[in-house]
Structure 1
């Protein structure tokens, strides 16, 4: 029997946080056919938004940790939405928004924090296409926001 995403999470010492239900006018995940679109998740730290601007008060390494945290929340949302991470056949696409100064150019390196986590959890099924953008601001002043598109098998 092959190692599951849950086995990998346990080996990494990760317990997925419960997903908070929002009163927002959108869904945290939506499915059409075998594709799930997971809404953007901001990086969180100490129970709130992980605030800061890359190139000003957040360094690249801390940004990678923030991207990893956002990816963990994405995985938790995916687990809550699907009920079983074993249904994930592929992480198709990751889009990363990095709150950064005009001269900061390491958005792709920051986003590696999320990409590495997805590979650690899903193995080859976690290998994905990706975009990383620098933006002037994110909700609540968060330093990183990430969304993803996932292919899933039927239940």
Structure 2
């Protein structure tokens, strides 16, 4: 899939990639190694604000899905910043979704679908990936969701 095709899909979905978020602690947002791009956990920014709260408490399932989608958008923004172009993405290998949720909330996989389905929509078959979706009691800055990624990339 070419950059033009990816950009066309993003436009069709009404997505404008935001500025890639800066690291909030002692790490780098992305590391390229051995044909893979490892993207650090991304928080859900909507209109410049982090979506905060807990699933099963202050955030609904729909809000969680939207937050996961926002994390996926930031993953793409980080990939573009690190690689210079989304055209270098060969495949999304794995997403790791962390959902700030109450002990009785068990729909973490449904929340994570927000990011997974975005990857399918933007990258077609190259967006199909392995995934984990786990509930956690708290996330950095009170975020409702955090998602990291491993992408297989083409040589630059």
Question: Post-superposition shift, 1:31?
Answer: 1.0
Please tell me whether the aligned partners of residues 40 and 149 of structure 2 are also in contact (alpha carbons under 8 angstroms).
Answer: yes
Matched, 1:90 2:91: yes
- In 2, Cα distance between the equivalents of 1:23 and 1:36? 19
Q: Name the TM-score, length of structure 1 as normaliser.
A: 0.95
Q: Name the TM-score, length of structure 2 as normaliser.
A: 0.94
Which sections of structure 2, spanning at least 5 residues, go unmatched? none
Matched, 1:59 2:79: no
Output one character per residue of 1:87-124: Cα deviation in whole Å (capped at 9) or x when no partner: 11100000000000000000000000000001111110
Matched, 1:114 2:99: no
* Equivalenced residues, count: 155
Which sections of structure 1, spanning at least 5 residues, go unmatched? none
Please tell me whether the aligned partners of residues 93 and 130 of structure 2 are also in contact (alpha carbons under 8 angstroms).
Answer: yes
CA-atom RMSD, angstroms? 1.5
Question: Post-superposition shift, 1:34?
Answer: 0.3
Output one character per residue of 1:5-61: Cα deviation in whole Å (capped at 9) or x when no partner: 111101111111112434732110001110110000111223222101000111111
Matched, 1:81 2:91: no
- In 2, Cα distance between the equivalents of 1:84 and 1:44? 21
Give the alignment of 1:1-155 within 5 angstroms. 4-22=5-23, 24-155=25-156
